[in-house]
Amino acid sequence: VFQLIGSLECYFTNGTEKVRFVERQIYNRQEYLMFDSDVGHYVGFTPYGERNAKRANSNPEWMDDMRTAVDTYCRYNYEVFRPFSVERR
């Protein structure tokens, strides 16, 4: 059995004042590729991940999209999930 997982995560500190976007790629319980908006580029953890990180980092249009995901993905969806997460008692 093979398992491939792609994960998109948003970390919010003090509402939307400090937002961090993280994309993780995992194959068979081993993370091989990660993008962190605080770092600003992809990091590979295996030889396969390093090749993919180099390819993605060399594409300026793709990297612009990933760097703006903090706004287009995290902050945009914050208002949708806020009533269920922040304002919940």
pLDDT single digits (tens) 46-74: 999 999 999 999 999 999 999 999 999 99
The pLDDT value recorded for residue 79 is: 81
Residues near 36 by Cβ (< 8 Å), separated by ≥ 6?
Answer: 20, 21, 22, 43
DSSP letter for each residue of 18-81:
EEEEEEEEEETTEEEEEEETTTTEEEESSHHHHHHHHHHHT-HHHHHHHHTHIIIIIIHHHHHH
Q: What pLDDT was estimated at residue 22? A: 97
What CA–CA distance (Å, rounded) separates 10 from 16? 10
Q: Which of helix, strand or coil describes residue 84?
A: helix
The two structure tokens encoding residue 17 = 């004042």
- pLDDT of residue 86 exceeding 70, the answer is no
* pLDDT for the residue numbered 3: 94
* CATH 3.40.50.300 given to domain 4-86: no
Q: Summarize the confidence of residues 69-87 as an average pLDDT.
A: 82
**pLDDT of 84 above 80:** no
